[in-house]
Amino acid sequence: MRLASAIRPATDREVPLAVDVLRRAGFGTQVARLLEYPRRSPDGVILVAEGEGGGVSGVACVAAFATTGWIGALGVAPEARRRGLGAALTEASVRWLRNRGAQTVLLYATEAGRPVYDRLGFVAEERAVAWRGVSGGAPPADLQRLGEPDRARLRALDLHATGERRDAVLDTILPLAGVAVAGDDGDGDLLGWAIASPWGAGTAIAAARPEVGVALMAAATAGPAAGTLIVPDGNIAATDALRAWRFVRLNDALRMRLGPAVAWRPDRQFGLFNLFWG
Ligand SMILES: CC(C)(COP(=O)(O)OP(=O)(O)OC[C@H]1O[C@@H](n2cnc3c(N)ncnc32)[C@H](O)[C@@H]1OP(=O)(O)O)[C@@H](O)C(=O)NCCC(=O)NCCS
């Protein structure tokens, strides 16, 4: 109880301390960039567990969408582990998200995190894998540059792919840098889009058809430098393409949820923003 009550939103002074904890918890050197969204958005928060002497010993980053919410970048300093802080941070995150209207709380779990989430009632869905490499060149597809007028169509396809209303995060992407494939039946829908974001480990890609998704993946990683794509294992077309292009598996994580299943279509997601909010 004492630990749970010491979990609260980070002050500005504590953000660098939170970044340091997450680096030491193995989240890599780019994690500060990832924290910018929950730090600045009214729909996100960085929760910290107080350490000794005004320090920070644990961190959880949280992002709320309409009826879903995500817990990401949850880490406890190595010297403060196995005292219940990981569980307390998860519970505090769930409470924060439920207060914001989340019926389902989602996360991508590492092997170390899974037992903590299992105990709190999260159920396993499927894995997402981060891959790195250079594609063999883009297959033919009619790529257009994305622009401001495309926002509503971009949101519609994102809702179709994720089952979530992620406007809060999509609307933060300014300018909208990316490419899209328009539908061929003249109704104005997008068949696919690929966008870079300030907090993406990889390019985010959604597509209504496998060949469109694979073409966007190829375009996003055409080189010369290697690119990263994070893809749900359930997207067979995407995984087959990455294997054919000889991409290397960097790491993976298990999608878990607490609450009712979301109408998620992994076969429509060809790139996740990150392993924080998918
Ligand atoms: C995963 C992680 C956050 C867990 O943090 P934690 O503070 O150690 O978590 P908890 O203390 O709640 O639970 C961890 C274990 O300690 C046990 N524990 C909790 N309180 C305890 C106590 N007072 N005495 C002894 N053991 C205790 C728990 O039962 C649990 O055991 P098990 O996993 O072996 O079954 C931490 O290991 C970490 O930061 N890992 C690296 C980053 C990472 O993988 N994050 C998860 C991203 S999804």
> Are residues 91 and 147 located together in one domain of the fold?
no
Would 120 be classed as within a structural domain? Answer: no
Regarding whether 172 and 80 lie in a shared domain, the answer is: no
- Position 113 in a domain: no
Whether residues 94 and 205 share a domain: the answer is no
Could you tell me the residue range of the domain that residue 209 belongs to?
131-251+265-271
* Residue 276 belongs to a domain: no
- Sign of the torsion formed by the C-alpha atoms of 17, 76, 57 and 70: positive
Residue nearest to atom 16 of ligand 1 (CA): 82
Residues 77 and 149 in one domain: no
Is residue 117 assigned to a domain?
Answer: no
The 143-145 sheet, strands edge to edge: 143-145, 178-182, 190-195, 204-207, 269-271
CA-proximal residue: ligand 1, atom 25 (nearest): 82
Taking the C-alpha atoms of 207, 208, 211 and 212 in order, what is their torsion angle to the nearest 10 degrees?
-40
The H or E element that residue 64 is part of is strand 56-64
pLDDT score, position 141: 67
| Same-domain check for residues 237 and 144 | yes
* Number of domains making up the chain: 2
Q: What pLDDT was estimated at residue 71?
A: 98
**pLDDT in the model for residue 1:** 41
Whether 163 maps to a domain, the answer reads: yes
pLDDT for position 29: 82
CATH number at residue 181: 3.40.630.90
Ligand 1 site residues, Cβ closer than 6 angstroms: 25-26, 74-76, 81-87, 109-110, 112-113, 115-116
Q: The tokens of 181 are what?
A: 């494939």
For a substitution probing ligand 1, which of 1, 7, 19, 76 has the most ligand atoms within 8 Å of its CB?
A: 76
- Partners of 271 in beta bridges: 205
The CB density around residue 139, as the number of other CB atoms within 10 Å, is 15
Determine the atom of ligand 1 nearest the C-alpha atom of 77.
39
Domain finish residue from 64, 87, 102: 102
Q: What is the structure's pLDDT at 112?
A: 95
Same domain membership, residue 244 and residue 138: yes
Task: Per residue of the chain (278 residues), give pLDDT as tens.
Answer: 444 448 999 999 999 999 999 999 999 888 999 999 999 999 999 999 998 888 999 999 999 999 999 999 999 999 999 999 999 999 999 999 999 999 999 999 999 999 999 999 999 999 999 999 999 776 666 899 999 999 999 999 999 999 999 999 999 999 998 999 998 776 778 999 999 888 877 899 999 999 999 999 999 999 999 999 999 999 999 999 999 999 999 999 999 999 999 999 999 999 999 999 89
CATH of the domain at 58: 3.40.630.30
Does residue 124 lie in a domain region?
A: no
Q: How many CB atoms lie within 10 A of CB 21?
A: 26
